[in-house]
């Protein structure tokens, strides 16, 4: 069953994380409006069902622990199509890292300021290095999280590159 987004309930749009994303999007000149979903969309599949789109049109914001040669650890944001699984070995090799591993919820919250399921591509507490899945370029419109499991916004591949300063990459 497809759930079409309805009028935005005030609490979600007033949530501080969503407000932070809205301010960042406005500062970048993003025209897409934050949409509030009836149900939480913590996965690409859930978001796609709620929006009536293909899961490949969901730009998942996945946070990884990136280990630099010599042991330094930092966050890495990979914006990937909801149809893909990130190949961490490929990503590590691509950008010269020793290893890349999926971050735990506490690491994600500490580095981004957002909980898993609502991590947007922008407005992070510590702006991470970012890779943007080239497969998202196939679509005129993709959807990304807006700081809350019920909030998303429409964007495009080119806009994701612009607003994140991300690097195009084949991540799957």
Predicted confidence (pLDDT) per residue in 82-118, tens digit: 999 999 999 999 999 999 999 999 999 999 999 998 9
pTM recorded for the entire structure:
0.90
CATH architecture of 10-169: Alpha-Beta Complex (3.90)
DSSP code string of the chain = ------SPPHHHHHSHHHHHHHHHHHHTT--PPPEE-SS---SHHHHHHHHTS-GGGEEEEEEEEEE-TTS-EEEEEEEEETT----HHHHHHHHT-SEEEEPPHHHHHHHHSS-TT---SS--SSPPEEEEEGGGGG-S-EEEE-SSTTEEEEE-HHHHHHHHT-EEE---
| pLDDT tens digits, 14-55 | 999 999 999 999 999 999 999 999 888 888 999 999 999 999
Q: How open is the CA angle 47-49-50, to the nearest 5 degrees? A: 65
Provide the pLDDT for residue 1.
Answer: 38
* Cα 55 from Cα 64, distance rounded (Å): 21
Q: How do residues 154-165 score in pLDDT, each as one tens digit?
A: 999 999 999 999
The pLDDT value recorded for residue 10 is 54
């Amino acid at each position: 069953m497809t759930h079409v987004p309805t009028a935005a309930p005030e609490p979600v749009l007033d949530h501080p994380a969503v407000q932070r994303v809205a301010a960042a999007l406005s500062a970048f000149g993003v025209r897409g409006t934050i949409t509030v979903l009836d149900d939480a969309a913590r996965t690409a599949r859930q978001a796609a069902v709620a929006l009536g789109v293909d899961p490949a049109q969901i730009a998942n914001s996945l946070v990884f622990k990136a280990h630099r040669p010599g042991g330094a650890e930092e966050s890495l944001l990979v914006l990937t199509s909801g149809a893909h699984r990130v190949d961490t070995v490929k990503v590590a090799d691509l950008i010269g890292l020793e290893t890349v591993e999926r971050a735990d919820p506490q690491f994600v919250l500490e580095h981004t300021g957002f909980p898993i399921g609502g991590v947007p591509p922008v407005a992070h507490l510590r702006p991470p290095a970012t890779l943007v899945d080239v497969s998202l370029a196939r679509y005129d419109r993709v959807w990304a999280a807006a700081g809350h499991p019920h909030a998303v916004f429409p964007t495009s591949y080119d806009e994701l590159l612009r607003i994140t300063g991300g690097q195009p990459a084949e991540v799957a």
